[in-house]
C-alpha cells in the first residue's frame, strides 16, 4: 500500500495549490444572486475522459435509477478558546469517545481568526474553557502521535454539546478569508443528532446542493440514500490517514443501495465520508448491510471499492490520503488527468470550492478488491 508520504514524494497531480485557486469564501458570497450551487463540476470518466460543467448540470449527467449516498451529519461549532496556564489556545473538539471523553486538538491562535499547529499534552494538563468548563488531557489518541489527545471534560448538565453551542465556532483554516457563521458549514442534508453529536468539519461535498437542485434530481429519477459519518478533525498540515470515526448505515439505505445496483443503477457517494461509511458496511461481494459503530477503514487502490460506482468530492491537497480513495474509485490515470484539468481550468480547492465527480471505469480489472478480506 502506498502511503500518504509516498503521495508527497511522488509529487502526484500537483505539488502545491496556486494561491489563486484557493476558495477563500463560499460561492454564494462571490457575487449577487449566487447560491451554493454556483460552483463548477469536473467530471472524470475512466482514464481518458474529463469535462467541466456547471454544478447545476448534475441532473443531466446522472441517470434515473442512480443513487446519491449523502452524509447527514451536522457540523459542530467545534472550535473553542481556552487557556493552559498563561498560554492562549484554541481547542478543536474532534470526536466523542464511548467513555464520555473527547478527542481534541490544541492549536495556537494565529491572530487573524485562524490557528497554527501545536502538539498536544502534557498528560494531566487542565485547560480552562469559557463558562467555567474544564478539560483534562489524559493521553494521545494514537501511540507515537501527539496531535490528537483524549481529554475528559468537567461534569456539566449539557456536556460538550452544550459548551459548543454556547461558546463554539466553526473550525477555520488559514486559506479562508474571514469567519463564517455555522450555517455556512451545514449542508442541505444535515440533520442535528439528538445527543449533540456531529462532525468537527463539514462533509463538504454536499455543500453545493440546494433544495431546488435536490428536487430536480428527484424528478429525474435519481434517488438519495442517507447515512451518517461524524468526521473528525482533518490534518491540514500532517496529511495523516483518517482516524476511526463513528458511522451508521440504516437498513433502509442498505436496501436502497442493493436494490439500485441489482437494477443496474450506479451508487455515487457524495463525499469521501460516504465512501468510508458505505464500504465499511459492504461485504466482499459489495452487498451492503445495516451497520453502526466505529470504522477504521482506509480505502486504497489495493483495497478497492465494492459498493461504490462513483464519487463526488472536492479537490484535495497534494499528499492528502483521500487521493488514494479517489484512485480506488476511478483509477490513477483518471485522477491525474482530472487534477491536471482542474489546474488548467482554474478550478477552486477546498470546502468552498469546485467539486469533482469521478465515475468508476467499468473496464478496470477489479481483482484487487476481491483480494482484500476485510
- Provide DSSP, 214-232: HHHHHHTT-EEEEEEE---
Can you tell me the distance from the alpha carbon of 27 to that of 207, in angstroms, rounded to the nearest whole number? 10
Global pTM value: 0.91
307 three-state secondary structure: coil
Find residue 96's DSSP bridge partners: 102
Contact call for residues 320 and 4 (beta carbons, < 8 A)? yes
The region of weakest confidence among 123-132, 157-166, 363-372 is 363-372
Q: Which residues contact 7 (CB under 8 A, 6 or more apart)?
A: 239, 318, 319, 320, 321, 323, 324
* Residue found by looking up cell 492562549 in the block: 88
Can you tell me the distance from the alpha carbon of 51 to that of 334, in angstroms, rounded to the nearest whole number? 12
- Is it the case that residue 368 has pLDDT exceeding 90? no
Q: How confident is the model at residue 370 (pLDDT cuts 50, 70, 90)?
A: very low
Can you tell me the distance from the alpha carbon of 120 to that of 141, in angstroms, rounded to the nearest whole number? 10
Contact call for residues 67 and 265 (beta carbons, < 8 A)? yes
Q: How many residues does the chain have?
A: 374
Mean pLDDT of the chain: 90
**pLDDT for res 363:** 61
With the CA atoms of 271, 275, 278 and 281 taken in that order, what torsion angle do they form, in degrees rounded to the nearest 10? -150
Report how far apart the first and last C-alpha atoms of the chain are (Å, whole number): 15
**pLDDT for res 238:** 55
- From its phi and psi, is residue 194 left (phi > 0), alpha (psi between -120 and 50) or beta? alpha
Contact call for residues 192 and 176 (beta carbons, < 8 A)? no
The grid coordinates of residue 118 equal: 501545536
21 three-state secondary structure: helix
Distances in Å between the alpha carbon of 263 and those of 69, 259, 267, 298?
16, 6, 11, 28
Q: How confident is the model at residue 362 (pLDDT cuts 50, 70, 90)?
A: low
**Sheet strands side by side (includes 291-295):** 49-54, 40-45, 355-359, 310-314, 267-270, 67-71, 223-229, 245-249, 291-295
**pLDDT for res 321:** 81
Q: Which residues contact 178 (CB under 8 A, 6 or more apart)?
A: 25, 113
The region of weakest confidence among 1-10, 89-98, 111-120, 346-355 is 1-10
Q: What is the helix (H) or strand (E) element at residue 314, kind and residue range?
A: strand 310-314
The grid coordinates of residue 1 equal: 500500500
- Is it the case that residue 231 has pLDDT exceeding 80? yes
Read out DSSP for 187-250?
-TT-B--TTS--BSS--GGGTT--HHHHHHHHHTT-EEEEEEE------TTT-PPPPPEEEEE-
Distances in Å between the alpha carbon of 62 and those of 33, 43, 102, 318, 363?
26, 11, 40, 29, 19
Mean pLDDT of 222-239: 84
Please classify residue 365 by burial: count the beta carbons closer than 10 Å to its beta carbon, then call 0-12 exposed, 13-18 middle and 19+ buried. exposed
Contact call for residues 227 and 248 (beta carbons, < 8 A)? yes
Can you tell me the distance from the alpha carbon of 83 to that of 63, in angstroms, rounded to the nearest whole number? 53
The grid coordinates of residue 335 equal: 485522477
Can you tell me the distance from the alpha carbon of 147 to that of 206, in angstroms, rounded to the nearest whole number? 28
- Is it the case that residue 171 has pLDDT exceeding 50? yes
**pLDDT for res 252:** 98
**pLDDT for res 34:** 97
Amino acid at each position: 500500500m502506498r502511503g500518504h508520504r509516498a503521495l508527497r514524494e511522488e509529487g502526484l497531480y500537483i505539488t502545491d495549490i496556486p494561491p489563486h485557486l484557493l476558495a477563500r469564501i463560499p460561492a454564494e458570497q462571490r457575487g449577487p444572486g449566487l447560491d451554493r450551487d454556483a460552483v463548477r463540476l469536473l467530471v472524470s470518466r475512466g482514464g481518458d475522459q474529463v469535462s467541466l460543467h456547471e454544478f447545476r448540470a448534475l441532473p443531466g449527467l446522472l441517470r434515473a435509477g442512480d443513487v446519491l449516498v449523502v452524509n447527514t451529519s451536522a457540523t459542530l461549532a467545534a472550535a473553542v478558546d481556552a487557556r493552559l496556564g498563561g498560554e492562549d489556545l484554541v481547542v478543536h473538539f474532534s470526536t466523542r469517545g464511548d467513555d464520555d471523553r473527547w478527542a481534541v486538538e490544541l492549536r495556537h491562535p494565529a491572530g487573524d481568526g485562524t490557528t497554527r499547529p501545536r502538539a498536544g499534552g502534557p498528560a494531566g494538563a487542565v485547560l480552562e474553557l469559557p463558562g467555567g468548563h474544564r478539560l483534562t488531557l489524559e493521553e494521545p489518541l494514537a501511540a507515537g502521535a501527539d496531535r490528537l489527545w483524549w481529554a475528559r471534560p468537567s461534569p456539566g448538565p449539557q456536556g460538550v454539546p452544550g459548551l459548543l453551542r454556547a461558546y463554539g465556532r466553526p473550525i477555520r483554516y488559514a486559506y479562508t478569508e474571514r469567519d463564517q457563521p455555522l450555517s455556512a458549514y451545514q449542508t442541505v442534508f444535515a440533520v442535528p443528532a439528538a445527543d449533540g453529536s456531529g462532525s468537527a468539519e463539514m462533509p463538504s461535498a454536499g455543500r453545493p446542493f440546494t433544495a431546488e437542485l435536490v428536487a430536480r434530481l428527484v424528478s429525474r429519477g435519481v434517488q438519495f440514500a442517507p447515512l451518517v459519518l461524524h468526521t473528525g478533525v482533518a490534518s491540514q498540515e500532517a496529511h495523516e490517514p483518517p482516524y476511526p470515526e463513528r458511522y451508521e448505515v440504516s437498513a433502509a439505505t442498505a436496501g436502497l443501495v442493493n436494490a439500485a445496483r441489482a437494477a443496474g443503477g450506479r451508487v455515487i457517494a457524495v463525499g469521501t465520508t460516504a465512501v468510508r461509511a458505505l464500504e465499511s458496511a459492504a461485504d466482499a461481494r459489495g452487498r451492503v448491510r445495516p451497520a453502526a459503530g466505529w470504522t477504521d477503514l482506509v480505502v486504497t487502490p489495493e483495497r478497492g471499492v465494492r459498493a461504490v460506482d462513483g464519487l463526488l468530492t472536492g479537490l484535495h491537497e497534494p499528499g492528502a490520503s483521500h487521493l488514494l480513495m479517489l484512485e480506488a474509485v476511478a483509477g490513477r490515470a483518471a485522477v491525474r488527468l482530472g487534477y491536471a484539468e482542474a489546474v488548467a481550468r482554474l478550478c477552486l480547492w477546498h470546502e468552498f470550492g469546485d467539486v469533482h465527480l469521478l465515475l468508476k471505469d467499468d473496464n478496470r480489472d477489479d481483482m484487487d478488491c476481491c483480494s482484500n478480506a476485510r
